[in-house]
Amino acid sequence: MTDAAHPSNEPMRSIDPADSDPQATYYLLNSVVVPRPIAWVSTLAADGTANLAPHSFCTVAGTQPPTLAFTSIGEKHTVANVRATGDFVFHVVDYAITERMNITAANAPADVSEFELAGLEQTASAKVRSPRVVGAPVAMECVLDRIIDVGHSRMVLGTVVQLHIAERLFDERDRVDPGRLDAVARMGGATYATTRDRFDLTRPSYDDLRVDPATAAD
Ligand SMILES: Cc1cc2nc3c(=O)[nH]c(=O)nc-3n(C[C@H](O)[C@H](O)[C@H](O)COP(=O)(O)O)c2cc1C
């Protein structure tokens, strides 16, 4: 594809991570793989301290069984807690709670609960030991499936055993309305994006693509 915005001779910067400072490569990945949803992950430490931390390296990892994944860069408290209890809760962050989410990213000691630090209320989960955040629009209780070592990072996969979704998010067809969810996403650095500017794109079938435009009107 070439056009005015994407000329075929566009100068490209080619970078070999093997020749680069790992931190610089990390910043690059963080800036170009965007926007990323934010998994606001709550866990419980072995001593009973509740923990809460955002992870934008996250995704849906599978559907049958429903599986979520997030990555801890290095082995942080969240991973130690998941190892201890075998579970976590993955919350979705909406615009209204973004600033509180940000507070929970502070590098608090293991015996300090980020729930208290950010003035957040916690409540018991239905099926896992990790508590969930009161006020988060979506909370998904997960049982640890596996932890994958990815170099010095740890990718945590969990099977969703219970979902909690605010009633106000559902439309008349019982689908979650993205406008009501108002999820935020992480861009590079300290920049975030809302999900307020949206558009629809209908996915074509292969047959649609084979229709000759010249005869399509016939
Ligand atoms: C929006 C946002 C996204 C973040 N994403 C990640 C991430 O994907 N992985 C990670 O290790 N740290 C991430 N962090 C930093 C952690 O939240 C931070 O290191 C936190 O203190 C980890 O807490 P813990 O030690 O209790 O696990 C993110 C921070 C913010 C503000």
pLDDT in tens, 34-49: 999 999 999 999 999 9
Please provide the CATH number assigned to the domain covering 23-210: 2.30.110.10
pLDDT in tens, 127-182: 999 999 999 999 999 999 999 999 999 999 999 999 999 999 999 999 999 999 99
* Pocket residues: Cβ below 6 A from ligand 1: 38, 51, 53-57, 71-73, 76-78, 102, 105, 107, 186
Strand, helix or coil at 3? strand
Candidate from 50-54, 192-196, 209-213 with smallest mean pLDDT: 209-213
Q: Could you tell which of 33, 40, 68, 73 is best to mutate to test the pocket of ligand 1, judged by most ligand atoms within 8 Å of the CB? A: 73
Please say whether the beta carbons of 36 and 195 come within 8 A: no
* pTM of the shown model: 0.94
Domain ranges of the chain: 23-210
Quote the pLDDT of residue 216: 59
Q: Could you tell which of 29, 58, 71, 72 is best to mutate to test the pocket of ligand 1, judged by most ligand atoms within 8 Å of the CB? A: 72
* CA-wise closest residue to 83 among 154, 12, 13: 154
pLDDT in tens, 14-32: 999 999 999 999 999 999 9
Q: Which atom of ligand 1 is nearest to the CA of 102?
A: 31
Whether residue 213 has pLDDT greater than 70: no
Whether residue 80 has pLDDT greater than 80: yes
DSSP 74-107: S--HHHHHHHHHSEEEEEEPBGGGHHHHHHTTS-
